[in-house]
Amino acid sequence: MGVRTFLWVDHGGRRAMTRRAEAGANWAEVTAEVKSVVFDPGDGSAPVTCANGGTPYDSRLAPEQQEDDCWHVYSHPSSRGSFRLRATVTWSATWTGSGETGGVLPELTVTANAAVPVQEVQTVNGSGVPSHRAG
């Protein structure tokens, strides 16, 4: 127990996006960007809010070099195979258009789920005393 589980949304899913549509002399352009990312770990603990959507774990870096701005520690193993982690991304958007029009669009929330298996592993340390760790 006590192993950090890194949480993040893909960088491509966090970038602001702009799309434009035209019909004759009329046009409209919408720009949407991530407002917030909230992860519900699925183990009954409080949700984790990640300001920038989290930084992906990089297996090429040593643990002390990791940027760990978004994580959760599972304190017990999942009893039925896996915890159901839920990521909720809230997008905000604005639009501009021909004729000096524009405004703010309603927020859009998108949710995705992932199975997170958490198992307990028992080992014997140098003193012969069992130690426990979830991960």
pLDDT for res 134 = 52
- For residue 52, what pLDDT is reported? 73
pLDDT (tens digit per residue) in 56-69: 888 899 888 887 78
pLDDT band, very low/low/confident/very high, at 107 (cuts 50, 70, 90): very high
| Residue of higher predicted confidence among 30 and 129 | 30
11-14 LR contacts (CB < 8 Å, sep 24+): 11/53, 11/56, 13/53, 13/89, 14/52, 14/53
User: Quick one: pLDDT at residue 104?
Assistant: 98
Q: How far is CA 71 from CA 20, 32, 93, 106, in A?
A: 36, 26, 27, 29
- Spatial CB neighbours of 43, under 8 Å, sequence gap ≥ 6: 74, 75, 76, 78, 83, 118
The mean pLDDT of 76-97, rounded to a whole number, is 92
d(CA 84, CA 130): 29
Mean pLDDT of the chain: 86
pLDDT in tens, 123-135: 666 655 555 555 5
pLDDT tens-digit map of 44-59: 999 999 877 888 888 8
What pLDDT is recorded for position 64? 82
Tokens of 60: 């090429």
